[in-house]
C-alpha cells in the first residue's frame, strides 16, 4: 500500500495530537489521583488531630490508632474478620482503625467522626455475616472503632446479674459465669467467639431461648455513647432508646459500651445428645413430625434439626440430619418425654450424655467431650472460610412431600445446610412488641441457610451465592410471607439495601419489615429520628430517620 506525502503528514499530525491527548489525560489522572490521595491524607490527619484534642489526657488515644501506612494495620483489620468473603484485596479498607481501650476513645471517635463527616463502623466480634462492622458498599471514607479491648465481665452471683462490655465474647461470658456458679447461665448463642455487642443488640438467640427467651429478654441495663458523645445508662437514655438497642441493632443509635444481664438458673446436671439420621432411616417422617412437635415439647428441651447432603456408602447422594439437643434435666426424664412426644426420633438412653451446663456449651459447639472449659476463652474461631447465611421462619408444619422436595433440591446444589431451630415455650409468651425482635408466638421454627466454601475469588463466590439464593427461593412455599420474615442477627443484604438518599425510609421498609415487622419498624424510626436526626450512625441496613 502506498501513501501520499499529505496523507503521511495528516497521520503524523493526528498521531501527535493523540499522543498529546494521552499525555494530558495521564497528567490529569496523576494530578487528580495525587489530589485525591492528598485529600484522603488530609482527612485522616484532621481526624487524628481532632481525636488527640478530644480524648482524655489520662488515657491517650495515640497508641490505639492504626492507619493503612502502619505495618500492623493489616493484622489489626484481619484478626476479627470472620467471613473471608470480606478479606479480599478488592474490599474497601478503612482510613483508620481505633482499637479503643477507654470510653473516652469512643466518645472522641463519635464527636470527631461527625465533625469530619466520616462514616463510622463499630466492631465487637466481627461475626457480622455481611461484614458491615468493618467494610462498606459505599464510596464514603470510613473508620472502624474496634471494641475487642473493651471486654470486662463483672459477675454478681448474689444479685444474679453481670455487667458485660461489648467487646467480650460469648465464650468469655459463659466461662466467667461458670467460674462463680455451676447453677447459673445465660441465654445467648452457641458460637463462643461471637462478640457481645452485636449479638445482644440484635436479639441474641441460643439453646436456652425456649426456657428463658432471648438475650435481650434478660437485659436490665446498658451503657451507650450517643451521637453527642455522652455516656448514657437506661435511666438517662430513656425507655424508648433502651428498647431500641435491645433487639433493634445498637449501631443505628449509638455505640453500646456494656450491657447488664440477668443471669438464669440451670440445673447442676443437664443432658445432651447429637444423634444422626439419614434418608434411608425414614428421615422424611422424622422431619415432618419434628415440625409438628418441636415447638410444643417441654420448655426445658431445645431439639435442633440440621440437614446437609452427602454421599452414602453406594456413592449416591443422600440427606444427613443431626439433632443436637440440650435438656435442662437428667437423661431418664428426657428419654421418657421423647418416647411419649417424639417416638419417631428413636432416642435411646445410650445416646444421652449427662454433664454440667458449661460443658454442654462446648458439646453444642462440636468440641470433643473432655475439652477443658478454658477453651471458651479462646478468640480463635474453629473455622475460617467464605460463607453466606440467610434466614426464614416456619409457621405451619411442612408435609412429608414438602420435605422430599426440599431434600431433592439440596442434593442438586453444593454445600447447602439447613438448620431448623425450634420455637415455642417462653418465646411464645413474650409480646412481639416487648422488644424490636418480633418473631414470637405463631412460629414453629427459624431456618438458618448456611453455605460454606473454601475457594477464594469472585467466580467461586458467585457460584455459591447463587446456590444459596436458589435454595432460598425454592423454600418460598414453606415459610412466612407478607412479609417473608428474617432475623436481624443473620444480616442479609439480599433482602434490601439502604442508600440513605431521598427514599431511605422507603428503602428501609423492605428489610425493616422483614426484621422487625411494620409496627416495630415504625417505632424504631421514631426513636432514630429523635436521638440521631442527622443519621450519623448508619450502615447499609441501619434504621433510617423519618425525614430521609
pLDDT greater than 80 at residue 123: yes
Answer yes or no: are the C-beta atoms of 169 and 357 closer than 8 Å.
Answer: no
The yes-or-no answer on residue 490 being catalytic is: yes
pLDDT greater than 50 at residue 448: yes
User: What is the arithmetic mean of pLDDT over 43-51?
Assistant: 95
Confidence label for 5 from pLDDT (cuts 50, 70 and 90) = very low
Confidence label for 18 from pLDDT (cuts 50, 70 and 90) = very low
- Better-predicted residue by pLDDT, 40 or 252: 252
pLDDT greater than 80 at residue 37: no
CATH topology identical between 43-146 and 270-351+383-478: no
The count of other CB atoms within 10 Å of the CB of residue 333 is 15
User: What is the arithmetic mean of pLDDT over 111-122?
Assistant: 97
Question: Over the Cα atoms of the chain, what is R_g?
Answer: 26
- Better-predicted residue by pLDDT, 502 or 254: 254
Nearest alpha carbon to residue 487 among 405, 408, 421, 414: 421
User: What is the arithmetic mean of pLDDT over 237-260?
Assistant: 98
Phi-psi region of 61 (alpha: psi -120 to 50; beta: other; left: phi over 0): alpha
Which of 16-20, 108-112, 156-160, 444-448 has the weakest average pLDDT? Answer: 16-20
User: What is the arithmetic mean of pLDDT over 11-33?
Assistant: 41
User: What is the arithmetic mean of pLDDT over 18-37?
Assistant: 42
What pTM, to 2 d.p., does this model score?
0.91
Which of 129, 134, 174, 490 is the catalytic position? 490
Answer yes or no: are the C-beta atoms of 73 and 97 closer than 8 Å.
Answer: yes
Which of 103-117, 307-321, 386-400 has the weakest average pLDDT? Answer: 307-321
DSSP letter (8 states) at residue 95: S
pLDDT at 503: 86
For 406, 443, 506, 537, the CA distances from 403, given in Å and listed in that order, are 5, 18, 36, 42
pLDDT greater than 80 at residue 23: no
Confidence label for 373 from pLDDT (cuts 50, 70 and 90) = very high
pLDDT digits (tens, 9 = 90+) for 517-547: 999 999 999 999 999 999 999 999 999 999 7
Nearest alpha carbon to residue 510 among 529, 489, 492: 492
pLDDT digits (tens, 9 = 90+) for 315-325: 889 999 999 99
CATH of domain 153-266: 3.30.465.10
User: What is the arithmetic mean of pLDDT over 208-226?
Assistant: 98
Answer yes or no: are the C-beta atoms of 513 and 219 closer than 8 Å.
Answer: no
pLDDT digits (tens, 9 = 90+) for 60-97: 999 999 999 999 999 999 999 999 999 999 999 999 99
Domain spanning 43-146: CATH 3.40.50.150: no
Q: How does the average pLDDT of the chain come out, rounded?
A: 92
pLDDT greater than 80 at residue 39: no
pLDDT digits (tens, 9 = 90+) for 449-504: 999 999 989 999 999 999 999 999 999 999 999 999 999 999 999 999 898 888 88
Q: How far apart are CA 38 and CA 32, in angstroms?
A: 10
pLDDT greater than 60 at residue 48: yes
The gap between the terminal CA atoms of the chain, to the nearest Å, is: 66
What are the extents of the domains in the chain? 43-146, 153-266, 270-351+383-478, 496-548
pLDDT at 548: 56
pLDDT greater than 90 at residue 4: no
Q: Hey, what CATH topology would domain 270-351+383-478 get?
A: Vanillyl-alcohol Oxidase; Chain A, domain 3 (3.40.462)
pLDDT greater than 50 at residue 17: no
Q: How far apart are CA 305 and CA 252, in angstroms?
A: 33
Cα torsion 338, 342, 345, 346 to 10°: value is 50
pLDDT digits (tens, 9 = 90+) for 327-347: 999 999 999 999 999 999 999
Confidence label for 27 from pLDDT (cuts 50, 70 and 90) = very low
pLDDT greater than 60 at residue 236: yes
pLDDT greater than 70 at residue 145: yes
pLDDT at 15: 36
Which residues are CB-neighbours of 457 under 8 A, at least 6 positions away? 88
Amino acid at each position: 500500500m502506498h501513501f501520499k506525502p499529505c496523507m503521511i503528514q495528516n497521520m503524523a499530525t493526528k498521531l501527535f495530537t493523540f499522543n498529546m491527548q494521552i499525555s494530558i489525560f495521564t497528567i490529569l489522572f496523576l494530578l487528580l489521583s495525587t489530589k485525591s490521595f492528598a485529600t484522603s491524607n488530609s482527612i485522616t490527619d484532621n481526624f487524628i488531630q481532632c481525636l488527640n484534642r478530644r480524648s482524655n489526657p489520662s488515657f491517650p488515644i495515640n497508641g490505639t490508632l492504626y492507619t493503612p501506612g502502619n505495618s500492623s494495620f493489616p493484622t489489626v483489620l484481619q484478626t476479627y474478620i470472620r467471613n473471608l468473603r470480606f478479606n479480599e484485596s478488592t474490599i474497601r479498607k478503612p482510613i483508620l482503625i481505633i482499637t479503643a481501650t477507654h470510653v473516652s476513645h469512643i466518645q472522641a471517635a463519635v464527636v470527631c467522626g461527625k465533625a469530619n463527616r466520616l462514616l463510622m463502623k463499630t466492631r465487637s466480634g466481627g461475626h457480622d455475616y455481611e461484614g458491615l462492622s468493618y467494610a462498606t458498599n459505599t464510596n464514603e471514607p470510613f473508620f472502624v472503632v474496634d471494641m475487642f479491648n473493651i471486654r470486662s465481665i463483672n459477675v454478681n452471683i448474689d444479685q444474679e446479674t453481670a455487667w458485660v462490655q461489648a467487646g467480650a465474647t460469648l465464650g468469655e461470658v459463659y466461662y466467667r459465669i461458670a467460674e462463680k456458679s455451676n447453677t447459673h447461665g445465660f441465654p445467648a448463642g452457641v458460637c463462643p467467639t461471637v462478640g457481645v455487642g452485636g449479638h445482644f443488640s440484635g436479639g441474641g438467640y441460643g439453646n436456652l431461648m425456649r426456657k428463658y427467651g432471648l438475650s435481650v429478654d434478660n437485659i436490665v441495663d446498658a451503657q451507650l455513647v450517643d451521637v453527642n458523645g455522652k455516656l448514657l445508662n437506661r435511666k438517662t437514655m430513656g425507655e424508648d432508646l433502651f428498647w431500641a438497642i435491645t433487639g433493634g441493632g445498637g449501631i443505628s443509635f449509638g455505640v453500646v459500651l456494656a450491657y447488664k444481664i440477668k443471669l438464669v438458673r440451670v440445673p447442676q446436671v443437664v443432658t445432651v445428645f447429637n444423634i444422626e439420621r439419614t434418608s434411608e432411616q425414614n428421615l422424611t417422617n422424622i422431619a415432618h413430625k419434628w415440625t409438628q412437635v418441636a415447638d410444643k415439647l417441654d420448655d426445658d428441651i431445645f431439639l435442633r434439626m440440621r440437614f446437609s447432603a452427602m454421599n452414602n456408602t453406594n456413592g449416591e447422594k443422600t440427606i444427613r440430619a443431626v439433632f443436637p439437643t440440650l435438656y435442662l434435666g437428667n437423661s431418664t426424664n428426657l428419654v421418657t418425654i421423647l418416647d411419649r412426644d417424639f417416638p419417631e426420633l428413636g432416642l435411646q438412653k445410650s445416646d444421652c450424655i449427662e454433664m454440667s451446663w458449661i460443658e454442654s456449651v462446648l458439646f453444642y459447639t462440636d468440641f470433643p467431650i473432655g475439652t477443658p472449659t478454658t477453651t471458651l476463652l479462646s478468640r480463635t474461631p474453629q473455622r475460617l472460610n467464605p460463607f453466606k447465611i440467610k434466614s426464614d421462619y416456619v409457621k405451619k408444619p411442612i408435609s412429608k412431600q414438602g420435605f422430599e422436595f426440599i431434600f431433592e433440591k439440596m442434593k442438586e446444589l453444593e454445600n447447602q445446610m439447613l438448620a431448623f431451630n425450634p420455637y415455642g415455650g417462653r418465646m411464645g409468651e413474650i409480646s412481639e412488641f416487648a422488644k424490636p425482635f418480633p418473631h414470637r408466638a405463631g412460629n414453629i421454627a427459624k431456618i438458618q441457610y448456611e453455605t460454606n466454601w473454601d475457594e477464594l475469588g469472585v467466580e467461586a463466590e458467585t457460584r455459591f451465592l447463587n446456590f444459596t439464593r436458589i435454595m432460598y427461593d425454592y423454600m418460598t412455599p414453606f415459610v412466612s410471607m407478607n412479609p417473608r420474615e428474617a432475623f436481624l442477627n443473620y444480616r442479609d443484604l439480599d433482602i434490601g439495601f439502604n442508600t440513605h438518599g431521598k427514599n431511605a425510609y422507603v428503602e428501609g421498609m423492605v428489610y425493616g419489615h422483614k426484621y422487625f415487622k411494620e409496627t416495630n419498624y415504625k417505632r424504631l424510626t421514631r426513636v432514630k429520628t429523635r436521638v440521631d436526626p442527622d443519621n450519623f450512625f448508619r450502615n447499609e441496613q441501619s434504621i433510617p430517620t423519618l425525614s430521609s
